[in-house]
Structure 1
Amino acid sequence: MAVVLITGCSSGIGLETALAFARRGDRVHASMRNPAKADGLRERARAEGLDIEVLTLDVTDDASVTTAVRTVEERHGAVGVLVNNAGVDYTSAVEAASLEQARAVMETNYWGALRTIRAVLPAMRARGGGVIVNVSSLAARMFSVPHGGFYTSSKAALGAASEALAAEVRPFGIRVVCAEPGAFASRIHENAAEREPSGDDPYAADEAWLARFLSRMGEGAGDSREAAEAIVAAVENPATPLHTVIGKEAETALEFTRGVSYEEWLPQFVQLAESMAGPRPGPEGAPSRVTEP
């Protein structure tokens, strides 16, 4: 029986991962910033006769992370499995972004994961083992789409940190997995911070076009239970690669960028997006052609 701590469990992959570990017989601590959103998880757990403890944990708050981890350790000993799932999205052009919102994405998706990692590692090292799963995204392995630079950057940064971390903690018997799910049913886009375009916003139409495309793509999103089962399997299998793509369609999507340059990829992406969201709008007042500097 492993002691498992999971962040971002109010919905989607986090919720399903908590249930999946509990079915395995592990002692599961499902954390979230607002426990009032745990009703769905509690109902599912009760229906299956699963024992899951809900914890308050805000990954952007040092004290909250420390308190949650210490609570788990005092009751049950060192965390054996940490799943960093908490994440937020923010869609905006680089120029038009609210820097406050852009920083908030990095604060949750990158620094939030590092906070929990740093909090659990001393006891993991003393115990001589453990597994850390950082839930990144397939987006971090592909070229960044228009208006998606901040989310993708945060997940790519998490992947880079995971590589360094894996080498650092391996001598202590600790494994690291950077899970990279494709499109799965989740509320991350529902809960995304929304930019308020101004009346003369040169990017508003393009951003709306991309939103239509992502919405259509989301209609075919996979079941989060598949992602949860893959995370459990990654923990169980010591041969799991550091970078583990999750989802039946994810490898196919990854092939879309493998072996091609950004310049080759972008027209293909636009063509795909236009097939689902209509013609990409041109910005008003833009020059008829772009000249080289």
Structure 2
Amino acid sequence: MTAVLITGCGSGIGLETALAFARRGDRVHACVRNPATAEELLRRARAEDLTLDVPQLDVTDDTSVTAAVTAVQDRNGPVDVLVNNAGVDRTGPVETMPLDQARTLMETNYWGALRMSRAVLPGMRARGSGVIVNVSSLAGRTFAVPHGGFYAASKAALGALSEALYAEVQPFGIRVVCLEPGSFASAIQRKSAACTAGQPSGTGPYDADHAWLSRFLTRVAEGAADCAEAAEAIVAAVDDPDTPLHTAVGKDAEAALRFLAGVPYEQWLPSFLDQAQSLAGPRPVPPPAGH
């Protein structure tokens, strides 16, 4: 029986991934930052007569990570599979986005995955096997969109970390996979659109542009794929030792990577803006200089 530890299981991809592994009979530790968010996961597990453990774990807190991983390993032995899924999204202009929000992105999306990996690696090395799946994003593999620079940076950093870790732990029999999903109907999509929509409008140099992006993100989220598809990709990556380190997930992600091969940013940006305007209307004209 495989011991699987997954972060960010309160909704979306994490929730579906926990259920997918539990259906196989694996020993699943589906971690959530806030226990109150586990209600839907537990309800669906009961409906399918699935068994899983739901530890409280905050990937941004060293003490929380150490305590949760230690408790899991004391109870069930070393973790066989770690899925670093916990993530947040915030949008905002490079010049004016509050730095605490930018730091939250890095703290969760990058440092959180690093904390978790460090916590489970000693046990994996001692056993000579293990799989770490870092759930990144297409945003970390392609070009950054307006107001999406900080999120893209956090995911690009996770991709670079995955590459170094892949090379370092391979001699110990440990695999690393960095999955890069496109648009999936997860809570991170809805929360990102909600946070963007909640920004003040019409008072700052970027506010109208930011509100325009909010409309675009909302429309994209409406057509996003089912998170169960991403969960299936995660399970498949764990099972298949030939899964490439960087693996796009979703038809839109695969198509985007094919389209962008060899395309410079300056050529890509107009096509992105055309697509965004087709969904969100004309991009606002910046206010006059000095305003």
Task: Classify the TM-score, shorter chain.
Answer: over 0.9
Letter of the 1:104 partner, please give it. Answer: T
1:257 corresponds to 2:260: yes
SS at match of 2:87: coil
Letter of the 1:222 partner, please give it. Answer: A
1:209 to 208, 212, 216: 212
SS at match of 2:25: coil
Instruction: Tell me by how many angstroms 1:196 deviates.
Output: 4.1
Once residues 210 and 199 of structure 1 are traced to their aligned partners in structure 2, the CA distance between those partners, rounded to angstroms, is: 14
Which residue of structure 1 lines up, in the alignment, with residue 112 of structure 2? 112
Q: Which digits, 9 at most, give the CA deviation of each residue in 1:166-225, with x for residues without a partner?
A: 000001100000010110011113334557437631101101111111111111100000
Which residue of structure 2 lines up, in the alignment, with residue 291 of structure 1? none
Once residues 54 and 123 of structure 2 are traced to their aligned partners in structure 1, the CA distance between those partners, rounded to angstroms, is: 21
SS at match of 2:176: strand
SS at match of 1:252: helix
Letter of the 1:70 partner, please give it. Answer: T
Q: How has the CA–CA distance of structure 1 residues 98 and 35 changed in structure 2, closer, same or farther, with 3 Å as cutoff?
A: same
Once residues 123 and 260 of structure 2 are traced to their aligned partners in structure 1, the CA distance between those partners, rounded to angstroms, is: 40
Instruction: Tell me by how many angstroms 1:276 deviates.
Output: 1.0
1:220 to 220, 223, 226: 223
Letter of the 1:84 partner, please give it. Answer: N
Contact 2:189 2:221 in 1 (8 A): no
Once residues 67 and 101 of structure 1 are traced to their aligned partners in structure 2, the CA distance between those partners, rounded to angstroms, is: 26
Once residues 51 and 21 of structure 1 are traced to their aligned partners in structure 2, the CA distance between those partners, rounded to angstroms, is: 10
Once residues 286 and 157 of structure 2 are traced to their aligned partners in structure 1, the CA distance between those partners, rounded to angstroms, is: 31
Instruction: Tell me by how many angstroms 1:252 deviates.
Output: 1.0
Once residues 210 and 257 of structure 2 are traced to their aligned partners in structure 1, the CA distance between those partners, rounded to angstroms, is: 23
SS at match of 1:21: helix
SS at match of 1:197: coil
Once residues 206 and 212 of structure 1 are traced to their aligned partners in structure 2, the CA distance between those partners, rounded to angstroms, is: 10
2:270 to 238, 257, 267: 267
- Computed over aligned residues only, the root mean square deviation of the Cα atoms, in angstroms, reads 1.3
Letter of the 1:91 partner, please give it. Answer: T
Which residue of structure 1 lines up, in the alignment, with residue 240 of structure 2? 237
Once residues 42 and 151 of structure 1 are traced to their aligned partners in structure 2, the CA distance between those partners, rounded to angstroms, is: 30
1:276 to 276, 279, 286: 279
SS at match of 2:190: coil
Instruction: Tell me by how many angstroms 1:139 deviates.
Output: 1.0
* Residue range with higher mean Cα deviation, 184-193 or 216-225: 184-193
1:14 corresponds to 2:14: yes
Contact 2:22 2:28 in 1 (8 A): yes
Structure 2 portions without partners, runs of 5+: none
Once residues 207 and 128 of structure 1 are traced to their aligned partners in structure 2, the CA distance between those partners, rounded to angstroms, is: 48
Aligned residues: 287
Which residue of structure 1 lines up, in the alignment, with residue 178 of structure 2? 178
Contact 2:3 2:80 in 1 (8 A): yes
Residues 1-293 of structure 1 mapped to structure 2, 5 A cutoff: 1-192=1-192, 196-197=199-200, 200-286=203-289
Letter of the 2:271 partner, please give it. Answer: Q
Percent sequence identity is 69
Structure 1 portions without partners, runs of 5+: 288-293
Once residues 167 and 35 of structure 1 are traced to their aligned partners in structure 2, the CA distance between those partners, rounded to angstroms, is: 36
Instruction: Tell me by how many angstroms 1:32 deviates.
Output: 0.9
Contact 2:190 2:218 in 1 (8 A): no
SS at match of 2:243: coil
